[in-house]
Amino acid sequence: MHQQLRGESDYEQLPDDVPVSAHVADVEQGKGISAYFMFVIQVKQKGDARYFIYRRYRQFHNLQVKLKGKFDPENNKNFNTCVLPALPGKVYLGNKQEIAEKRIHELNIYMKKLLALPAWILLDEDLRIFFYQTKEDSVQVPKSLRRLRPPTRRVQTKTVREGVIPEDEKPWAEALYNFTGANDLELTFKAGDIIYLLKKVNEQWFEGIHSHCTGIFPKSFVRIIKDLSQEVAAIQEDRRIVAHWFRCVYHKEHCCEIRDIYLKTGISLQPEYKMLLSKMRAEFATEDIALNYCDPEGDLVRILDDTDLELMAVEAEERPKVTKADFAPWRVHVSRKHDLTIYNINP
């Protein structure tokens, strides 16, 4: 009987056009007589090609039925069987968009487990047809891709400290139960582990750091020892100085470098342009730099004066880029003065 884990040698023999990973990037309403919603899915092939497909829940269900008929041990007596991942069940009542949104997490888990099955399953005709980009898929343009991380350059993280914050002063929690992340966005930890809190995502989820990894995790799996609110309240006692740390992203030629910079004297919500430019020139030991900020659409905007910093501050209050305790709510993007490749020139 074939093993459940994919063998490395078998995987290497797969053709480059075989799907190896898939992720729901958004949910969009379809056009038809009755209202329905489609999942916008980014598919990655073994050859590293990426594309989008559009599938309804019933297409997932039909695929599952076909695969069970072929490979489920309960339905077959042959040797080519394996245990298939569970597909979230049908829901007949409720708001269709809310139902679709709630299914995203479960469908991502389903596709991750499905595409991690033995290599010979990935060659199944029905599975390949499901993940194949049809002509209709190729002409559609995704609207927003709210749940897809934008493609980024390779990132190096470096923390520059003029002072050290003791570990026992940071907001933290103790894990009550084991938790295994379903994807790269979620942490994995065991009961008794310590997780340092970065921000509150919503009423059920936090973002934190554990074993040098950053990710989100459910609040119900931990016991809060020092809450974020305690740290934030202490910082906001001085309304003029909003933080002592700020984050900057340095756009190099082939990668981005993240630096967390500490200022003993603190920094205001809206710093002065000349002061910030001088600080960045000293930090990167070069005069050939430009300051930028990221607008709500995700595009970089060059900062030329105090007016631009005022816009950055206003947008940061509405949509904070950094919500770690004692960090300014914005981040500065530093680029080379004559590098225009970082800007979006499309209308």
Q: Strands 154-160 and 255-267, how do they pair?
A: parallel
Q: Which two tokens stand for residue 310?
A: 């005022």
pLDDT at 202: 81
pLDDT at 162: 41
pLDDT less than 50: residues of the chain: 1-8, 149-165, 231-239, 346-347
Sign of the dihedral defined by the CA atoms of residues 280, 321, 185, 343, in that order: negative
pLDDT at 151: 42
Instruction: Kindly state the helix (H) or strand (E) to which residue 208 belongs, with its residue range.
Output: strand 205-210
What is the value of pTM for the model shown? 0.44
Instruction: Kindly state the helix (H) or strand (E) to which residue 228 belongs, with its residue range.
Output: helix 228-235
Q: Which two tokens stand for residue 239?
A: 């309304």
Q: Which two tokens stand for residue 234?
A: 């202490």
pLDDT at 214: 83
pLDDT at 49: 86
Over residues 115-140, the pLDDT tens digits come to 888 888 888 999 999 999 999 888 88
* 3-state SS assignment for residue 256: strand
Residue 159 dihedral angles phi and psi, to the nearest 5°: -105, 125
Q: Please check whether residue 263 is in contact with residue 162, taking contact to mean a CB–CB distance below 8 angstroms.
A: yes
Q: What is the DSSP secondary-structure string of 10-54? A: HHHTS-TTSEEEEEEEEEEEPPSSS--EEEEEEEEETTS-EEEEE
CA distances, 292 to each of 159, 272, 281, 306, 336 (Å) = 20, 14, 14, 12, 10
pLDDT at 149: 43
Over residues 42-74, the pLDDT tens digits come to 898 888 888 899 999 999 999 999 998 888 877
* 3-state SS assignment for residue 303: strand
